[in-house]
Amino acid sequence: MGKITGFLEYNRENNTDIPVEERIKNFKEFHVPLNDDRRREQAARCMDCGVPFCQSAMKLKGMVTGCPLHNLIPETNDALYRGHTEHALQRLLKTASFPEFTGRVCPALCEKACINGEYGDPVSIHDNELYIIEHAFANGYMTPRTPRVRSGKKVAVIGSGPSGLAAADLLNRRGHEVCVYERDDRIGGLLMYGIPNMKLDKAVIERRIELMQEEGVTFITGTNVGSDITAEEITSLYDAVILCCGAKQARSLQGADPDRIGDIYYAVDFLKSTTSSLLGRQDKIRDRSVDDFMKGRDFISAANKNVVVVGGGDTGNDCIGTVIRHGCKSVTALEMMPAPPVTRAEDNPWPQWPKVLKTDYGHEEAIALFGHDPRIYETTVKEYVTDKKDNLKSIVISGVTFKDRKMELVPGTEREIPCELLLIAAGFTGCEKYTPEAFGVELGDRGTVKTAEGGYATSKAGIFAAGDMRRGQSLVVWAISEGRACAAEADRYLMGYTNLREW
């Protein structure tokens, strides 16, 4: 697998990044890929390790390590190293529905399980995967795979995020007639409106949607199922329904009422406003400078404001990167939990998921721009101070501690900091209820759609659920995995058997 001594001969080399001072001037992707020869050297670092944990998706101490899609990683790396890029693509597409998405936004669970990472640097699996799929698009390998025979069965997929797209892709290839419904004006769900352009260029999503349309998938946007069209109409038109509406019920902060206090927003609403503006003015602005973008007035602006982001996940980081591009005066990120260690603790050995400090692109940009890490740990918002018009002007923050898993404020740690824009990136509490209620399916304790244990069938025959709507807030790669597995179960329901492979 790969070059037997490759891991000894070549050091890990990542795709390079455009310098911070240049990349914050626009909303473009900023990773610069390696050339073909250097990428093959990186693939050569994949050794014949015998037991490839990278493709295992094992749960160790409650955390998964390894690829949830079970990608055939040693095989694709071997083919890439030998220059057989078309064969590498075919092995990758056996399990990966959208490598162009995961190659950009996945935190690379595979790399955390790579044996080279036990004492050194893991194989650059994430960047190798992205190279393979982008090379394929650039060289005409990605052509429509239209099914030769249609089954006569019709499936509705409600929601066009990664799980919905994955389910639609497999069911269409199986020969079913698939229609995807999306309430927003564009296909992609959180891929489109929850992830900033500099992290996932929307042209990448549009390219995949065009390919799926050529393959026979139908997309209907601007249609809210349960409102614009009833659940009864959907079930009368289709033989099976798959609910993939995400877990978009945002978790709030105590006392943070956007209806009462101006300039408080949920993170996804803020990110969506910027992306919507970019896309709405794409002929004039999409690939131009931030200065040109900021002349518009159709988005939530962070310009010249002291911004506070509450929440330390990927969405919080994306907010930091976005407000910096807006030209914020300052940005502070509050995290309730303690700062993780810089290196692995002794009780967190390989191949467990490494519980270590992650400094993402938004944090890097804030450090470069303002001279310090924007994150303040073990801290939350205690009070909101407004002006005479009820617009936010500052907040009082406080240290926190946890006793019996309950958060408590630490007396004497309060201090007031300026804040004219507060973004809540504190996660989600489950799916929005109106769609499952319209279809009459049960919800579980976590506010997600309840399905049969280990499966995707809901309490209503012929109705299935996948992705965050079933699993709860999670990663894009898990959503794709869920969509594929759900497609196989729905296919079995429709045909009495399935030849679809979940992975």
Cis before 107 (ω within 30): no
Task: Please give the pLDDT value at position 27.
Answer: 95
Is residue 503 assigned to a domain?
Answer: no
Same domain, 87 and 117: yes
Interatomic CA distance for residues 456 and 449, integer angstroms? 9
Is residue 212 assigned to a domain?
Answer: yes
Same domain, 419 and 446: no
Same domain, 280 and 211: no
**CB burial string 165-197: b at 16+ within 10 A, e below:** bbbbbbbbbbbbbbbbbbbbebbbbbbbbbbbb
Interatomic CA distance for residues 446 and 175, integer angstroms? 35
Query: Domain boundary residue among 379, 408, 424?
Result: 424
Task: Please give the pLDDT value at position 48.
Answer: 79
Two structure tokens written together for 123: 């194989």
Interatomic CA distance for residues 159 and 220, integer angstroms? 10
List phi, psi (to 5°) of 87: -70, -40
Name the CA radius of gyration of the chain, rounded: 23
Specify whether the CB–CB gap between 183 and 272 falls below 8 A: no
Can you give the CATH number for the domain in which 178 is found?
3.50.50.60
Task: Please give the pLDDT value at position 280.
Answer: 84
Which residue range(s) make up the domain with 233? 154-247+429-495
Same domain, 173 and 229: yes
Task: Please give the pLDDT value at position 50.
Answer: 86
Same domain, 191 and 44: no
Interatomic CA distance for residues 331 and 214, integer angstroms? 44
Same domain, 234 and 280: no
Task: Please give the pLDDT value at position 497.
Answer: 96
Task: Please give the pLDDT value at position 404.
Answer: 87
> Exposure of 448 by Cβ count < 10 A (0-12 exposed, 13-18 middle, 19+ buried)?
buried
Q: How many CA atoms lie within 13 A of 3 on its CB side?
A: 17
Q: Which residues pair with 307 in a beta bridge?
A: 331, 421
Task: Please give the pLDDT value at position 282.
Answer: 53
Same domain, 217 and 293: no
Task: Please give the pLDDT value at position 286.
Answer: 58
Instruction: Give pLDDT < 70 ranges for the chain.
Output: 1-2, 281-288, 502-503
The torsion of the CA quartet 409, 415, 419, 421, rounded to 10 degrees, works out to -10
